[in-house]
Amino acid sequence: MNYLKGLDEKAWKWLSKIPAKQWCKAYFTKRALSDCLVTNISESFNVMILPARDKLILSMLEWIRVRLMTRLHTKRIVMEKYGGSVCSNVQDKLKKLKMESRSFSAMFSGRFKYEVDNDYERDVVNLTKKECTCRIWDLTGIPCKHGVASIYKNCEHPKDYLHDCYLKEAYLDVYSEIIHPMSGTHVLRPLGRPKKLRRRDPDEPRNPHKPVSVRDSTGKGAGSGAGRGRGTTSGVCSDASRGATSGLGSGAGKGATSGTSRGSNIGAGKGSTSGQASGIGRGSISGQASGASKGSTSGIVV
């Protein structure tokens, strides 16, 4: 930090406010298994989704989902066909470390501890704890060049000292899960209350057993009886109407099928099937009729 302060004091003040474990390798934990300080992983992902960035939010997320779903499947299939026990990238890195370790001399001190040095540097390797004073082995889980020299001195292979996350089994465990496919929006439940009756064809006849309700001409609903209309299914008829099927009707009407007609005005009614009718009517089938009528089938005529 003093060296950095001499180079750039503003950078020193800015780094002093950040915990050292977030930017200094000397304070990194072994749990990360990475000594990388750059954002290459996020940048690679940004490059992958670049074709979908100009889409709408839902379309972009759908494109990313399909892309990841196919990628997971491809990675899983490729690793299943792989014949080695260590991932190919790590295997290539071990070959490179083997070439770099040739310039080092490992001296055994006992209890699987080695002193490794060349003309420029010296480090201590502990094969039991899989550690090296350079801390590269500690942070990555892959033996460093000092550790590779010690392992070959001990007549062993570096892949036996790798962390389990670099093995083929761990790779397959990571890609064992899948991103489940999704159906389109055409199978989703539509908005609103679901219909209970099926939709009939245009040429399909109506149901003859279904009752039909008649509305009045004013559009106030069936059975309201308010206003002039040709008929009411149920309710009270308080004005002049030609017939009342059920309920109480008052006034002059051509006929009342069921109920009681208690009108006080004088009108001509052709007939009343049931109930009482007052006024002049041509005939009454049942009930009592007062006034002049041309004929009465049953009841009392006054």
Condensed to tens digits (0 to 9), the pLDDT of residues 121-168 reads 999 999 999 999 999 999 999 999 999 999 999 999 999 999 999 999
User: In this predicted structure, what is the pLDDT of residue 277?
Assistant: 35
pTM of the model: 0.59
Beta strands in the chain (DSSP E): 105-110, 113-117, 122-126, 131-132, 236-237, 243-244, 248-249, 255-256, 260-261, 268-269, 271-272, 276-278, 280-284, 288-290, 293-296, 300-301
Residue 173's nearest CA partner among 41, 70, 75 is 75
Residue 151's nearest CA partner among 184, 114, 188, 185 is 114
Give the model confidence (pLDDT) of 99-115 as tens digits.
Answer: 999 999 999 998 899 99
Which position has the token pair 């496919």? 181
213 CB contacts (<8 Å, ≥6 apart)?
222, 233
More confident residue, 238 or 143: 143
Cα–Cα dist 234/248, whole Å: 9
User: In this predicted structure, what is the pLDDT of residue 221?
Assistant: 52
Cα–Cα dist 224/239, whole Å: 11
Give the model confidence (pLDDT) of 165-200 as tens digits.
Answer: 999 999 999 999 999 999 888 888 888 888 888 888
- Whether residue 236 has pLDDT greater than 50: no
Q: What share of the chain is helix, strand, coil (3-state, %, to 5)?
A: 35, 15, 50
- Supply angle C-alpha 196, 198, 200, rounded to 5: 145
Going from the C-alpha of 84 to that of each of 80, 152, 169, 220, the distances in angstroms are 10, 20, 11, 84
- Supply angle C-alpha 275, 281, 283, rounded to 5: 70
User: In this predicted structure, what is the pLDDT of residue 244?
Assistant: 38
